[in-house]
Amino acid sequence: MKDFLHYLKPHIPTMLYGFTIKFTGTIMDLLIPYILSYIIDEVTPQNDIRRVFFWGGMMVVCAALVLVCNVWANRVASAVSRDTLQTLRYDLFYKISYLSSSQVDAFTIPSLVTRMTTDTYNLHRMLNMIQRMGVRAPILLLGGVVVTMLIDPVLSGILCLLIPFMTFVVVYISKKSIPLFTKAGISADNMIRVVRENASGIRVIKALSRTEHEKERYDGVNLRLNHDETKASVMMASSGPLINLLLNFGLVMVVLAGAWRVASGHMKPGAIVAFLTYFTIILNAVMAISRLITMYSKAAASAGRIAEVLNTPADMKIYHAADINREGDGSGNGQNADEPDGADPHRRAAEPGRADLRQSAGESAESDVRQIPHITFDHVSFSYNKRVKNLADISFSLNPGQSLGIIGPTGSGKSTLVQLLLRLYDIDEGSICINGRDINTFPLKELRQRFGVVFQNDVLFKETLLHNIDMGRTLSQEDIDKAVRIAQAETFIREAGGYEMSVEARGVNLSGGQKQRVLIARALAGHPEFLILDDSSSALDYKTDAAFRTELAKAFAGTTTIIIAQRISSIMHCDKILVLEDGIPLGLGTHEELLRTCETYREISKIQMGGDAA
């Protein structure tokens, strides 16, 4: 909860203002039974109707002040809760947006969704209730005890004897409940994961008639969540009946002792009426505190889960040039690569493709450009689980304007390779350079702005076609039209009603080919320095695919391109082709060279295109 208190600091003056109002209303609430006792014992025996009306009017005034102060204070509490959680949700979303891919994999998407929604809601409820009842309930409890001691110390002693037992019950049960609510949160993550998978794959599930199977799978995680929540709730809810039992036992003792003291003349009837009223107030206050403890237990578990994300250190750094070559680096000398607007103070004064190259004696800048490749992979290896290598000893280079085709069976590491180039994951061995500069020295925003990417399972958002292509980059209409034309999407967009056509989430109202053409247009619209097409034409017919490649070669001749494909026809014209299998490079060369030297490539060509003649 320490991290959460940080968000409350700016609102402390407003909270104190609300607490003052709530305090005033609570004191008025405590005065009402006392005035009633005074009317019964002191005013009524005098048969003075004017004094009865006067003190009755005072009770009405106190009740009105209670109403006004409570409504006013509750409005203040709602405003503080709203503003505090708005800031927290923003920071949490910001942090999630800049988590590395490996960190997102570790937390999982369903867990991050739960922390962003359910956990922040638990904190909102807790903060709201603490402001509403966190002042009122303790004051009613303590104030009730003090007033009852003034009315009759003997009866008040019975109540005081119960307080240690009630305190023990509340503390013990809340301590046991927090781990149970944390476990229930994990079960909620699992349930959301299953729901998310079913919602995303509903068409596949129906097509394969697996609806009943998925219902059983959901029923399993739902029952687990129900079991964990019930266990936590039962544990927490047991405090209420136990406290109620203690208070009712005390109430019986108070009634018996009070009747005996009234009968013996040691206590007046009005005092016993007031005492019983205060006892009821104390009972309600204790029950309110018990509910607050329940909410706090849930909120504490949620706060821990949120803090776990907020306090996650960046695992991607921007390293100095000297640090890249230093053995055993990892001392944290670099800047946080996830800072969106971070600047690298060690950035080279000149950079090929972006600025003038540094020149050595007798050499021109033009010759430097020819000597330094646009992209270089130097003995790159990577593993997701750090045990089995997903890519091993990958080496190649591309000059500006060259194209690389990557082909291989499913799971061979094709998509992983381009994710390493974008630095969605950090490599384990070797180096990746752009224009001779290690990608670890680039701020992530600067690095990724150079790329236009179409991923294998890319996403369209529930927005217009124009928004899905522009993606907030404020691109010119001319650039968007050009990208749409090259992507062969011009005709279907015009027939669909233009750029203002509404796209459903994940593009479910578009065909596979239409989605891919929109995604390609998105990648091309920003005139990227590097273009990555990861199986981006698998849903295109051969004619459309050929037309796209022809237009791409004309309009983006100077763009360095990496194409991942399952069809040789999509990559056979690339300057270089890399063949992967189980993360291991089996061949690198042109189409003709690989037909002669790579058996795996030759087999793929024979199956797809009828042999070497292709």
Domain with residue 420: its CATH number is 3.40.50.300
What pLDDT is recorded for position 199?
73
In a domain, 230, yes or no: no
Give mean pLDDT, residues 10-25.
89
How does pLDDT run across 506-558, given as a tens digit for each residue?
Answer: 788 888 888 989 999 999 998 999 999 988 877 788 888 888 888 888 888 88
370 and 261 share one domain: no
The token duo for 139 is 């004051």
3-state DSSP assignment of residue 296 = helix
Do 31 and 1 meet the contact criterion of CB atoms below 8 Å apart?
A: no
In a domain, 213, yes or no: no
3-state DSSP assignment of residue 533 = strand
What pLDDT is recorded for position 4?
81
Q: Which segment of 84-93, 242-251, 338-347, 421-430 scores lowest on mean pLDDT?
A: 338-347
Domain containing 380: what range? 319-353+365-450+528-614
In a domain, 228, yes or no: no
How does pLDDT run across 64-107, given as a tens digit for each residue?
Answer: 998 998 899 889 999 999 999 999 999 999 999 888 888 888 88
More confident residue, 599 or 185: 599
Helices 120-133 and 12-38: crossing angle in degrees, nearest 10, is 40
Of 479, 495, 517, the one marking the end of a domain is 517
Give mean pLDDT, residues 13-24.
89
551 and 572 share one domain: yes
Tell me the range of 189-193, 353-357, 413-417 where mean pLDDT is highest: 413-417
Q: Which segment of 270-279, 315-324, 557-566 scores lowest on mean pLDDT?
A: 315-324
Mean pLDDT of the chain: 81
440 and 463 share one domain: no
Give mean pLDDT, residues 362-380.
67
What pLDDT is recorded for position 338?
53
Residues 6+ apart with CB under 8 A from 147: 30, 33, 34, 278
278 and 376 share one domain: no
What pLDDT is recorded for position 320?
58
299 and 429 share one domain: no
The residue count of the chain comes to 614
What pLDDT is recorded for position 395?
94
What is the number of structural domains in the chain?
3
Give mean pLDDT, residues 153-164.
74
In a domain, 120, yes or no: yes
369 and 498 share one domain: no
424 and 305 share one domain: no
Do 596 and 437 meet the contact criterion of CB atoms below 8 Å apart?
A: no
375 and 405 share one domain: yes
More confident residue, 352 or 287: 287
Do 560 and 401 meet the contact criterion of CB atoms below 8 Å apart?
A: yes
Is the pLDDT confidence value at 179 over 90?
no
Full-model pTM: 0.69
Which is nearest to 101 in space by CA: 324, 393, 422? 422
89 and 145 share one domain: yes
